Amino acid sequence: MSSTEELLKRLGVFIDAGTLRLALTHRSYAYENGGIPTNERLEFLGDSILGFSVTDALYRDNPTLPEGDLAKRRSAVVSTRALAGIGRSLGIGDYIYLGQGEKLTEGKNKASILADTMEALIGATYVSNDIETARQLVMRLIGPLLKDAAALGAGTDWKTSIQELAAGRQLGSIYYAVEGSGPDHARTFVAVLQIGGTAYGKGSGHSKKEAEQEAAADAWRKLSGAEAKASAEGSAPAGAESAADDPKAAPSESAAGS
């Protein structure tokens, strides 16, 4: 377990020792240590603070945006994927108290655990300080995501977004070729998204679903970027990158919009 002083420095807030330890205590650790309190109550609190802070910022900064678009943007930045990304950038996983089972399966890198812990830390910041301090923490962490037009445009479900985009352009069927590597307790998956037999995006993760979402996000950004460039140049969207492998080869694992 790394020094929590370094963690607090990264967060830029004060959290008292007891509350901080509680925020970092996953239920798997609590179960193996006599049923001690977990971080789930703080997670519940932090989730509400996160939602309100982001909603308030979106409402104030986008006075003409309709409710549906505001909701979509909020969903994008408070999603498990977004929070897990923030958690990884801060190295939160090294500080979480996990049970032996979760340690063996690389729980410190799991998106759900990282996202839940981030919410617990937001709740802990409120408990140890006040609502304004917690809100400022949220905005430091989430602020950059609110300015990411690409992420906000697609929302959280990249697979649905890329499916809709591909269908709109009549690019062809979608397939995810997924390969796994590493031992069973620490598997890593790499997904290549093919549309109409052409590779458009690539992603990796600790689960097939996470790898596919990353591949879909990669493809969405490339296609959206090509569309924007083509629009600026007054020409048709540029084509995607050529597939590295034979596009007709059967993928090891495939899905069509699943």
Residue with the two structure tokens 């500080």? 95
- How far CA 188 is from CA of 65, 91, 99, 183, 253, in Å, comes to 40, 19, 21, 9, 14
Q: Is residue 246 part of a domain?
A: no
Q: In this structure, are 86 and 21 located in the same domain? A: yes
The per-residue pLDDT for 156 is 53
% pLDDT > 70, the chain: 82
Out of 148, 178, 209, pick the residue that ends a domain.
Answer: 148
pLDDT at 207: 85
Q: Is there a domain that residue 44 lies in?
A: yes
Domain contains 153: no
Task: Tell me whether residue 94 is one of the annotated catalytic residues.
Answer: no
Which residues form the domain of 219? 158-233
CB-CB contact of 120 with 24 (8 Å): yes
Judgement on whether residues 101 and 128 belong to the same structural domain of the protein? yes
Which residue among the candidates 43, 102, 116, 119 is catalytic per the annotation?
A: 119
3-state SS, the chain, equals CCCHHHHHHHHCCCCCHHHHHHHCECHHHHHHCCCCCCCHHHHHHHHHHHHHHHHHHHHHHCCCCCHHHHHHHHHHHCCHHHHHHHHHHHCHHHHCECCHHHHHCCHHHCHHHHHHHHHHHHHHHHHHCCHHHHHHHHHHHHHHHHCCHHHHHHCCCHHHHHHHHHHHHCCCCEEEEEEEECCHHHCEEEEEEEECCEEEEEEEECCHHHHHHHHHHHHHHHHHHHHHHHHHHCCCCCCCCCCCCCCCCCCCCCCCCC
In this prediction, residue 152 carries a pLDDT of 54
**Same structural domain, 16 and 71:** yes
Sheet containing 174-181: give its strands across.
Answer: 174-181, 188-195, 198-205
The residue out of 105, 124, 148 marking a domain boundary is 148
Q: Is 179 an annotated catalytic residue?
A: no
- Between CA 137 and CA 120 the distance in angstroms is 12
In a domain, 258, yes or no: no
Q: Provide CB contacts within 8 A for 128, sequence distance 6+.
A: 13, 14, 15, 16, 19, 20
Amino acid 23: pLDDT: 98
Length of the chain: 258
Indicate whether 179 and 112 sit together in one domain: no
Whether residues 143 and 162 fall in one domain: no
Residues 120 and 35 in one domain: yes
Residue 244 lies in a domain: no
Does the model's pTM come out above 0.85?
A: no
165 shares a domain with 141:
no
Report how many domains make up the chain. Answer: 2
Low pLDDT (below 70) residues in the chain: 1-2, 148-157, 225-258
User: Is residue 45 domain-shared with residue 107, that is, in the same domain?
Assistant: yes
* Residues 112 and 213 occupy one common structural domain: no
Same domain, 135 and 206: no
- The answer to whether residues 171 and 67 belong to one domain is no
Residue 257 lies in a domain: no
The pLDDT value recorded for residue 50 is 96
- Looking up residue 61, the CATH number of its domain turns out to be 1.10.1520.10
pLDDT of residue 80: 84
How confident is the model at residue 243, as a pLDDT? 38
Query: Of the residues 128, 148, 168, which one is the last residue of a structural domain?
Result: 148
Catalytic residue among 43, 47, 106, 210: 47
162 and 142 assigned to the same domain: no
- Half-sphere exposure at residue 74, Cβ-oriented, CA atoms within 13 angstroms: 23
CATH number for the domain that contains residue 186: 3.30.160.20
